[in-house]
Amino acid sequence: SVRRPYGTCCYKDMFRRQKIPDILIRSYKKTPSYCSHRAVRVKLLKGKNICVDPEESWFQQYLQKKESTSVST
């Protein structure tokens, strides 16, 4: 079966601008390159998906924290 892009892409009215607390984020995934808007789909603990602009400062800080905690010595 062909996967429809609607489920993986984010559209203008789907973006959330407020900061999401780190503890509520289960996972995140960049949207595919064929999507019209560059975005990250954030999956929350309760299973809800939210679209986030990857350039949002709070999300950049979240990524930096994730990278610094996942680096093994």
* All domains of the chain in start order, with CATH: 5-70 (2.40.50.40)
Structure tokens at 69: 């905690």
Instruction: Output the pLDDT for position 68.
Output: 85
Instruction: Output the pLDDT for position 14.
Output: 86
Residue-wise pLDDT tens digits, 11-38: 888 899 899 999 999 999 999 999 999 9
Q: What is the pTM of this model?
A: 0.76
The string over 41-63, giving b where at least 16 C-beta atoms fall within 10 Å of a residue's C-beta and e elsewhere, is bbeeeeeeebbbeeebeebeebe
Average pLDDT over residues 52-72: 88
> Rounded distance, CA 25 to CA 58, Å?
13
